[in-house]
Structure 1
């Protein structure tokens, strides 16, 4: 029985391959469409895609085109060709505004850009594009079944941009070794805090801003040192006001003691 079943499976496999090859070479679009749909339904998306690519020009503008172009777009998506899938889904949504698949196509187009978004350390052009597409979808379909997933993607992508912005700002602090560079680090960290007021990195950003100001003050020329020491002290106070039990408190307290020691010389004058 087992041998018979294996034999039948082999026969069906080669019959399927033969049918597919014939469809690829056929001039009959109906044959191509039938086999393409069979391949799609059987999860053979790459094969289905080759046939849909051949079918697309022939079906454009025809009544059956909506179904063909939906499967065509989905085949790109299911084979992880996200740039092409996004393009096709957007075309589908624009071409068939009354389609019951339009909402799904609009969401999947945005999701494609989400999937193209790289890790935070790389260029974030696709992340920005994904956020724009997702927000447009949310505005267009505020009651969509895909809304929770769209909001989840937006949060994840926003967190990624926030992390990248923080790492860039902190890098100015990490590489600074001269007065001008400390000032640049303070500005970068300050801008980050202003741009992301609710960020989870705020405590760190405030500490590194204080630390940059401390180093700037301690390495300042005499005519600017007192003023800069006092500025650094205000950054310390801001950090403690934000989080009195900061993880950086011990290090910050040590630096504050050095600032107060330096300031003593000015109080004696």
Structure 2
């Protein structure tokens, strides 16, 4: 039974390919265009794309050219050829800048970069490009119905960049590179000032500087513990109602005890 089904599928596929080959060989360009549009509507984008590509140079300057260009660009998009889709969306805007579809093409160009955004541990160049192009779209078309979706995509992309930066800072901390961790978490706060996790990041700055001080040579400890106190005070100024305040106070007390111990030792030494 399985072999019969397989044979049927192969036969149907062969028939479809044979029919498409006949369309390709046809010298009737109107017929080719009708078939390309038919394949497009049937979501057979690979067939439609090939026919549109053949017709492309023949239709330049013709009334149908804009529609063919539009569908040709979308064929690449639906086939997930993001680089080609981006290139064609861009070209459409350049060729038809006053078209009612130009706004859509600008949005779709930005969207192709969003679709290329990789998982968080990989390079995020396309994520950054998606943010840039979406922001440009918002600035250029403030009344567009696509503004809400564009804003949501920017938020998702920024969340991914934030997570990537957080993981990098966390790795420094887990590896015991506490100074690098403190700097990385500070940078994370500066790059994402509106983050819901700002308080947690600031606490990590405090913890990192504290452990950096604890593991320092004696001559460096006092100045580095004083840095922890500065960070604790900054936390209190920024987040006076924070639920993490008790944890900050714990590190502040530990640090003050260390500072007193160092100062007492210095007094003994001078005496």
Tell me if TM exceeds 0.5: yes
User: Equivalences for 1:1-269 in 2 at 5 Å?
Assistant: 19-176=19-176, 181-241=177-237, 242=239, 245-247=242-244, 249-250=246-247, 252-268=248-264, 269=267
Segment drifting more, 194-203 vs 90-99 = 194-203
CA distance in 2, matches of 1:259, 1:63: 76
Q: Is the 8 A contact 2:199 2:242 kept in 1?
A: no
How well do the aligned residues superpose, as a CA RMSD in angstroms? 2.6
**Structure 2 stretches of 5 or more lacking a match?**
1-11
Give the length in aligned residue pairs: 254
Once the two structures are TM-superposed, the CA of residue 92 in structure 1 deviates from its matched residue by 0.8
**Cα distance 1:243–1:22, how it changes in 2: closer, same or farther (>3 A)?**
farther
CA distance in 1, matches of 2:179, 2:158: 28
CA distance in 1, matches of 2:170, 2:243: 18
| 1:67-109 residue CA offsets vs partner (Å, 9 max, x unmatched) | 1111111111222222211111111111012222111111111
The residue matched to 1:206 in structure 2 has which SS? helix
Using structure 1 for the length normalisation, give the TM-score: 0.83
**Structure 1 stretches of 5 or more lacking a match?**
1-11
Once the two structures are TM-superposed, the CA of residue 36 in structure 1 deviates from its matched residue by 0.4
Q: Is the 8 A contact 1:226 1:263 kept in 2?
A: yes
Partner of 1:4: none
The residue matched to 2:228 in structure 1 has which SS? helix
| 1:130-174 residue CA offsets vs partner (Å, 9 max, x unmatched) | 122212222221111211111111111122112222222232222
**Cα distance 1:253–1:265, how it changes in 2: closer, same or farther (>3 A)?**
same
CA distance in 2, matches of 1:15, 1:234: 76
CA distance in 2, matches of 1:92, 1:216: 56
CA distance in 1, matches of 2:24, 2:95: 26
Partner of 1:3: none
Q: Is the 8 A contact 1:173 1:182 kept in 2?
A: yes
CA distance in 2, matches of 1:173, 1:129: 29
